[in-house]
Amino acid sequence: MILIDGKKIQEEMIIELREEVSKLKTIPNLTIIQVGNYGPSNKYVAQKIKVGTSIGIDVNHINFDDNISEEEVINKIEELNNDKNVNGIMVQLPLPNHLNEDRIVNAVSHKKDVDGLTTTNIGNLFDGKNAYTPCTALGVMELFKRYNIPLKGKHAVILGRSKLVGKPLIACLLNENATVTVCHSKTENLSDITRSADILIVAIGKKYFVKSDMVKDNAVVIDVGINVEDGKIYGDVDFESVKDKVSHLTPVPNGVGRMTVISLMKNVIKAYLEQSK
Ligand code: NAP
């Protein structure tokens, strides 16, 4: 079994992107909008600032009070949309309940939508047009590329249909000519489907859900899951159970989780280059 080493790839990409940024005429800017002080969001924002800064990107963090109105957030986003010095804008999710997430996310100009979550962007992605791929899906695709895993004609099965991970992966894999099946909580005979996968991507948020009887011999298995129990992180795939059966496997931690933030930075550089044209 080949271990897909997200940590190693992330470190390689940091060096590559730092080099790329150093050659640009000006410094790319990413602006993160956060509302409130939700613990996990604080942690994710801190990671984005750390990784972005380490490759030479200017990361601006706007942290609104919990009780800010929707109009105020949208006004700020519109101001940032029109600010030539801002290349990428992302709204840290989740937002407090009184704010309409869909309306706020879609206020971001699709040209600066480095998280890839606006409806316009998702449409472009599914249409095979130039688009910003949502960061975790982009990270998964990068792993396939770096490990020379062929996708054309292969049966790729995605477990999970979230807007952040499962759905964008449908478009990404189709764009690479894979044959794609998507499963979710209502799927019947799930194991029969997963056992037919050449490539199995699991993003459901259930610790050790996938065991060896659910995977085909020599399948490529990508574990997106992050399940925290007593401060420890567990994947959606039971690593020990499947490791001797598959051809490639991502660990948790140090697998896909390492790819999401660096992929965001890739999108920021892409936005900078598109806006410089
Ligand atoms: P989500 O929004 O919670 O969606 C979960 C999906 O899994 C849904 O489509 C759900 O089906 C499906 N599902 C749940 N139980 C299932 C079952 N027993 N059998 C088949 N499908 C089932 O999930 P998400 O945001 O995509 O996150 C999924 C996991 O990935 C979580 O552990 C999350 O922490 C992790 N994650 C990791 C990263 C990273 O950077 N590595 C990024 C994002 C998420 P229904 O649609 O029918 O409800």
Closest CA to 105 of 33, 47, 154, 174: 33
Q: Return the pLDDT at 157.
A: 99
Ligand 1 surroundings by CB, under 6 angstroms: 136, 159-162, 164-166, 183-187, 190, 203-206, 224-227, 256-257, 260
Instruction: List, in order, residues 6 or more apart from 34 with CB less than 8 Å away.
Output: 41, 42, 45, 61, 62, 63, 64, 92
Q: Which amino acid is present at 32?
A: I
Q: Respond yes or no: is residue 102 known to be catalytic.
A: no
Q: What is this structure's pTM?
A: 0.97
What helix, strand, coil percent values describe the chain, rounded to 5? 40, 20, 40
Q: Give the pLDDT of residue 210.
A: 98
- What is the DSSP-derived secondary structure letter of residue 133? P
Using the atom order of ligand 1, give the atom closest to the CA of residue 184. 21
Model pLDDT, residue 211: 98
Q: Tell me which H or E stretch contains 62.
A: strand 58-64
**Angle, alpha carbons 91-95-100 (nearest 5°):** 95
The whole-number pLDDT of residue 201 equals 99
Annotation says 34 is catalytic: no
CB 143 within 8 A of CB 10: no
Give, for all 277 residues of the chain, the pLDDT tens digit. Answer: 999 999 999 999 999 999 999 999 999 999 999 999 999 999 999 999 999 999 999 999 999 999 999 999 999 999 999 999 999 999 999 999 999 999 999 999 999 999 999 999 999 999 999 999 999 999 999 999 999 999 999 999 999 999 999 999 999 999 999 999 999 999 999 999 999 999 999 999 999 999 999 999 999 999 999 999 999 999 999 999 999 999 999 999 999 999 999 999 999 999 999 999 9
Please identify which of the residues 5, 92, 112, 167 carries the catalytic annotation. Answer: 92
pLDDT at 262: 98
Ligand 1, atom 22: closest residue by C-alpha: 185
Residue with the smallest CA separation from ligand 1 atom 5 is 204
Three-state DSSP string of 148-215: CCCCCCCEEEEECCCCCCHHHHHHHHHHCCCEEEEECCCCCCHHHHHCCCCEEEECCCCCCCECHHHC
Q: What is the pLDDT of residue 132?
A: 98
**Does residue 94 have a cis peptide bond before it, meaning omega lies within 30 degrees of 0?**
yes
User: What three-state secondary structure class fits 241?
Assistant: helix
